[in-house]
Amino acid sequence: MQTIGILGGGQLARMLALAGAPLGLRFLVVDSAEDACAGQVAPLLRTDWRDFDRLGEFAARVDVATFDFENVPAETAHWLTEHVPVFPNPRALAISQDRLAEKTLFREIGLDTPAFAPVNSRDELARALEHVGAPAILKTRRLGYDGKGQFRLKSAADVDAAWEALGGAPSILEAFVPFERELSVIAVRSREGEFRTYPLTQNWHADGILAASLAPAPHAEALAPVAYAHARRIAEELDYVGVFALELFVRDGELLGNEMAPRVHNSGHWTIEGAPASQFENHLRAVLGLPLGDSGALDIHVMLNWIGELPDPLPILAEPRAHWHDYGKSARAGRKVGHATVCARSAVEMRERLTRIGKALGREAQVAPVLAALTSD
């Protein structure tokens, strides 16, 4: 019986533990918060990321370690690799923690990106804006997620405000891309080098946070193999082990690399019901060196994110093939507290289900772009 250690005890760790139980796996989760929601389904060890005594206890109790949270300090990840196998490896983690290194890698493997430039000072920001062009987005190189650590510049007049907003942190200025669609590839590579992708997923954000996903992304037959090939090159370049998400924009019908997340990803939650082996199960198989599971989509799947607080569960529970996911977290503005996945055999059936759900929950705006994507021919 093997024990998987997970750094970070949020909903991703929780869903990893739930997916791993049928595989006969045990878990140990470390988190700084006593009420980390993964602690409801797996043993929780409370520690700071720099408490190496506690981390040593953690390492001694697990067979392999992985992440719920990519912003674990690089120092901690490195230290751990000396005590227990850690996947993904610290280099992969470090590159995907740094927007500049990440975009540089994308270009190296042949994936185009929006124009970008590094920014380490106010003056460099001004020069970068001339190079990249307005509008543009200034983002901290590290610790950004869900739209945090970002500032949008409409013109050179915004340089001072932007530089101040980000507190002078090492940053990257990116051209604002008027994209047509946002897509993501959920990919997985095992310790044995086996590689698989889930079908391309189309995503919609609201206030910088994922609001809805649709898989397989419609009308993506031409883009999908290109996206999968990029994901494979990134995985092989980083000797990546585990699941990762590659987020892409589509502009003028071409793919642009936005960012990667070195872990199971919100846009892959639909795989719990929608794929024979979910992203959570495949991440565990990958880090254990087991054969990867079937990552095809069984039907059409839509994931609706619950941000801040949960809506009334009854319209989801009453809807055929709709699945409720409550992460066991308390409500807080901007916090991911749960999601629902709706499955259907046809676009017509999916539209009916989403329309009923949107209406019953008063969330017509959340389902509207998905409905539009399902109707466009």
- Determine the Cα–Cα distance for residues 256 and 247; give it in Å rounded to an integer: 9
CB 214, min distance to a second copy, A:
19
Residue (230 or 339) nearer to a second copy, CB: 339
CB 91, min distance to a second copy, A:
28
Contact 185, 245 (CB under 8 A): yes
Q: What angle do CA 149, 185, 31 make, to 5 degrees?
A: 50
Residue (292 or 371) nearer to a second copy, CB: 292
CB 37, min distance to a second copy, A:
10
Q: Hey, which residues does 45 pair with through a beta bridge?
A: 30
- Do the annotations mark residue 312 as ligand-binding? no
CB 193, min distance to a second copy, A:
16
- Do the annotations mark residue 281 as ligand-binding? no
CA-closest candidate to residue 229, choices 246, 209, 213: 246
- Do the annotations mark residue 243 as ligand-binding? no
- Sequence-distant (6+) residues with CB within 8 A of 365 are none
State which H helix or E strand residue 151 sits in.
strand 150-153
Q: Hey, which residues does 239 pair with through a beta bridge?
A: none
- Do the annotations mark residue 145 as ligand-binding? yes
Instruction: Supply φ then ψ for residue 53, to 5 degrees.
Output: -70, -50
Residue (22 or 253) nearer to a second copy, CB: 22
Contact 282, 295 (CB under 8 A): yes
CB 326, min distance to a second copy, A:
3
Name residue 47's amino acid. Answer: T
DSSP 305-351: EEESS---SHHHHTSTTEEEEE------TT-EEEEEEEEESSHHHHH
- Do the annotations mark residue 9 as ligand-binding? no
Residue (203 or 282) nearer to a second copy, CB: 282
Residue (24 or 167) nearer to a second copy, CB: 24
Contact 255, 223 (CB under 8 A): yes
- Do the annotations mark residue 308 as ligand-binding? no
- Do the annotations mark residue 258 as ligand-binding? yes
- Do the annotations mark residue 175 as ligand-binding? yes
Residue (260 or 264) nearer to a second copy, CB: 264
CB 319, min distance to a second copy, A:
9
- Do the annotations mark residue 70 as ligand-binding? no
Residue (84 or 290) nearer to a second copy, CB: 290
How big is the chain, counted in residues?
A: 377
CB 253, min distance to a second copy, A:
33
The pair of three-digit structure tokens given for residue 236, joined into one six-digit string:
């092989």
The pair of three-digit structure tokens given for residue 176, joined into one six-digit string:
């604002």
Residue appearing with tokens 């997340």? 261
CB 203, min distance to a second copy, A:
21
- Do the annotations mark residue 176 as ligand-binding? yes
Binding residues for a second copy (CB under 8 A): 1, 14, 17-18, 21-24, 26, 40-42, 276, 285, 290-291, 293-294, 296, 298, 310, 313-314, 317-318, 320-321, 323-328, 338, 343
Interaxial angle between packed helices 99-108 and 223-238, expressed in degrees from 0 to 180 and rounded to the nearest 10: 110
Residue appearing with tokens 């990958």? 286
Contact 37, 325 (CB under 8 A): no
Residue (250 or 275) nearer to a second copy, CB: 275
**Sequence ranges of the binding site:** 99, 139, 144-150, 174-177, 182, 205, 258-259
**Sequence ranges of the binding site for ATP:** 99, 139, 144-150, 174-177, 182, 205, 258-259
